[in-house]
Amino acid sequence: MPDIREFLSHLKSAYEARIAAAIAVPAREAAYADLEPPLNDDIRKRLARIGIENLYRYQAEAITKIRGGEDVIVIAGTAGGKTATFLVPLLERLASDPESTAILVYPTKALAQDQLATLGALAPEIFSACYDGDTPQAHRPIIRKNAHVILTNIDMLHYSLLPDHRSWAHFLRNLALVVLDEAHTYRGTFGSNAALVLRRLERLVRLYRGTGDARAQPYRYVLASATLGNPEELAHKLTGRQVAVVTDDSSPRAPRTFLFWNPPFLPDKQRRASSNLEATAILVDAIRHGIRAIAFSKSKLVAELVARYTRERLMDIEGVPADAIAAYRAGYLASERRDIERRLFEGSLRAVSSTSALELGIDVGSLDMTIINGFPGTTSSFFQQAGRSGRKGESIAVYIAGEDPLDQHYAAHPEDLFERPREAAIIDTENRYLLASHILCSCYEYPLAVSDVEVVFGSAARPVVLRLCEQGDLVQKKGKLFVSPRLGRPHERVSVRTASSFRVQIVDVESGALKGELDEALAYLYVHPGAIYLHQAETYRVVDLKLDEGIALVTREHVPYYTQPREDSRVTVESVLKARQAGPVELYFGDLTVETRVLGFRKRHVITQEALGYEELFLPPHIFATKGIWFVVPDEITERLSLAPDQLAGGIHAIEHATIGLMPLFVSCDRWDIGGVSTPAHYETDATTIFIYDGVEGGLGYSEKAYDMFEALIRSARDLVERCPCSNGCPGCIQSPKCGNANEPLDKEAALRILREIA
């Protein structure tokens, strides 16, 4: 057996200069409680079969509430036993009513498969089955007719079960329990779509139950999640109900040491060493010392590269097979994923380099160490990933900071991860663009009574219905709403993972193979003619973009460069919804129209980042309505600072980048979900103005949360720029990987002078 403490000492000694902090989290003893009335002997024996002899205090509390007819969200850490809080009520319900059915919803297929095995061991006589994209077509009719429990995902509910609900009539009529596991993953566009899918599900169940009460709650909800900043609010928005919260995590925890690892600056002092190479070095060291490890990276490409680099270095180590490590990500065949999971569980695989696909509660056996290559976006994800190791004993979690401002914030302030409140998970069920899609789907599934529109979808749905009727997409007859026959089945045009109903398919011109899909807005940026598109580490050049047909044509071409779009954005204020004074600045929140035009693209060398050329493009603008904040810097501040025009433009541009980069500190979002524009003299405010807006049609609530937390956000931006040791600005403070102007102009000194005045 490897000695974890000895390896920890080795890391601290060998890499002392890279370790910014080490935080030891002590072990925690379990706290147990009895149920009243107690479990019957049969269920107690079944739980013992899967290793559950006693219930933790929080499990007993949650089960008691569910027994009492409440909807519940359970908050507990990784491997803390959350599954028991819904499996026990499920078994009790089936014992009292054998006709009852249940839907267990998981965010990934792998997690559903893992939970199916647990359910099979617990109650092999219950017909339980995964019903997702991997389910063979021949098996689906059998499942629809006979299953008591299905394990599925939001995508399958939307695309298959709801539009084909007549095939599920018996199942829906007897539905008693709906479970949303890993509820913290339902945020942003995905979470908003999921909430509207659940509204449609509940409506159909009421129809099959034969109740005329559109407010009837025909089944119970149980949600389970890692730590959240707003569990009650999120659960309410997802389900449309008041949900009881159980947060007393009384499960046991083994000791864990967190190492906060910051790669050193390169000789030019403007960039740090690659976090990917640092992750590789730690993985190789771990495998060489017999430590079983998992490394998480934020993209498929990086996960593949870390695995490849590690494999290459293992070839030089005697006695260690190169296949001791594997990559794991979405997009693999189901059989490939299952094989990797099995080898990891059995121990024949010593390490895995993964995307967040392995972040969730799949049992991958006893791992000793987690490597988190770059901040994963939310603190919930951070602790989920850290918790993938140490299920059966002491463990190490190594956080490697990348060059993103948020990464560098946590490298400098690791205590924030443990002490500050978790980010709020934001969803918006009133986004009129999302509502329109789901109302059309719901009316296709079964004509919707006009009187039930607001009951099912909320007050924001009525004007959306009126607009759909005016467009001819909905037809009203005898008080009911029908989908126009010309639309056919609307479900295929709605992606539950994005906000756009229009997708651009990326097609290889030589093979005709589909290489991917993008929203229309992203297509302008990433698959314009001449762009380099990456797919499974292969490079493809875009030869044509046919927006009217929704197709981008690509050809495989090995090139030593990547492309970076140059864009110009213009923001128009449509209405002010809120306004207040935030220190010396005027702060606003309201409706905006954003017009973005891609002007051309730069070619940059993959290794050196050297500029290799620029080509102009002539594409139509992308115009969308959204919500955002904007703040006006008073003239007296800019005049007092005596900044030249180029300094002022560079300073506020840098503030825009730093602020957007730190938004995920306060809101459960990604910087790619946020857009921004800064101008020394906006034509509407006639003053120095910085706009930050939701990058989603209609908005999703990110900027509104930023409005509420503006003072803390702007102070964090000031602290970030102040402490960064770079001289002129770097990716760790004011440079942005998504900047449409190639990070020009930027002025770190001017930004800091302005921030000290307004923060």
Is 607 among the domain residues? Answer: no
pLDDT digits (tens, 9 = 90+) for 458-469: 999 999 999 999
pLDDT at 67 over 90: yes
Same domain, yes or no: 379 and 455 = no
Structural domain of residue 69, as residue ranges? 41-246
Euclidean distance between CA atoms 154 and 178, whole angstroms: 12
Instruction: Name 296's Cβ contacts closer than 8 Å, sequence gap at least 6.
Output: 303, 354, 355, 356, 358, 359, 370, 371, 372, 373, 376, 385, 388
Domain boundary among 419, 440, 473: 419
Instruction: Give strand pairing partners of 602.
Output: 564, 614
Is 498 among the domain residues? Answer: no
pLDDT digits (tens, 9 = 90+) for 613-651: 889 988 888 899 999 999 999 999 999 999 999 999 999
Same domain, yes or no: 287 and 197 = no
CB 617 within 8 A of CB 599: yes
Domain boundary among 223, 246, 269: 246
Domain boundary among 229, 246, 263: 246
Q: How confident is the model at residue 40 (pLDDT cuts 50, 70, 90)?
A: very high
- CA end-to-end span of the chain: 52
Is 32 among the domain residues? Answer: no
Burial letters 340-353, b for 16+ CB under 10 A, else e: bbebbbeeebbbbb
Mean pLDDT confidence for 205-209: 93
Same domain, yes or no: 21 and 70 = no
pLDDT at 216 over 80: no
pLDDT at 360 over 80: no
Q: How confident is the model at residue 203 (pLDDT cuts 50, 70, 90)?
A: very high
CB 752 within 8 A of CB 580: no
Largest CA distance in the chain: 80
Mean pLDDT confidence for 703-730: 92
pLDDT at 182 over 70: yes
How many other C-beta atoms are found inside a 10 Å radius of the C-beta of residue 73? 26
> What pLDDT is attached to residue 608?
65
Mean pLDDT confidence for 415-444: 91
Is 680 among the domain residues? Answer: yes
Instruction: Name 105's Cβ contacts closer than 8 Å, sequence gap at least 6.
Output: 152, 153, 154, 157, 178, 179, 180, 181
> What pLDDT is attached to residue 331?
63
Is 341 among the domain residues? Answer: yes
Instruction: For CA atoms 460, 667, 231, 115, give the dihedral sign.
Output: positive
> What pLDDT is attached to residue 78?
80
Euclidean distance between CA atoms 7 and 202, whole angstroms: 52
Mean pLDDT confidence for 603-612: 75
Q: Which two tokens stand for residue 114?
A: 């893992």
Mean pLDDT confidence for 156-173: 96
Same domain, yes or no: 275 and 373 = yes
Q: Report the range out of 226-230, 315-319, 409-413 with the highest average pLDDT.
A: 409-413
Mean pLDDT confidence for 129-133: 94
CB 464 within 8 A of CB 439: yes
Taking each helix axis from N to C end, the angle separating 710-723 and 405-412, rounded to the nearest 10 degrees, works out to: 80
CB 616 within 8 A of CB 599: yes
The number of residues making up the chain comes to 759
Which of 742 and 137 is assigned the larger pLDDT? 137
Q: Report the range out of 314-328, 526-540, 561-575, 645-659 with the highest average pLDDT.
A: 645-659
Is 611 among the domain residues? Answer: no
Lowest mean pLDDT among 399-403, 537-541, 710-714: 537-541
Same domain, yes or no: 578 and 532 = no
pTM here is 0.86
pLDDT digits (tens, 9 = 90+) for 526-539: 888 999 887 655 78
- Measured CA distances, 227 to 136, 232, 237, 390, 425 (Å): 35, 12, 17, 18, 11
> What pLDDT is attached to residue 740?
79
Whole-number mean pLDDT of the chain?
90
Is 612 among the domain residues? Answer: no
pLDDT at 205 over 60: yes
> What pLDDT is attached to residue 494?
86
Is 730 among the domain residues? Answer: yes
Q: How confident is the model at residue 370 (pLDDT cuts 50, 70, 90)?
A: very high
Same domain, yes or no: 222 and 357 = no
CATH assignment of the domain containing 454:
1.10.10
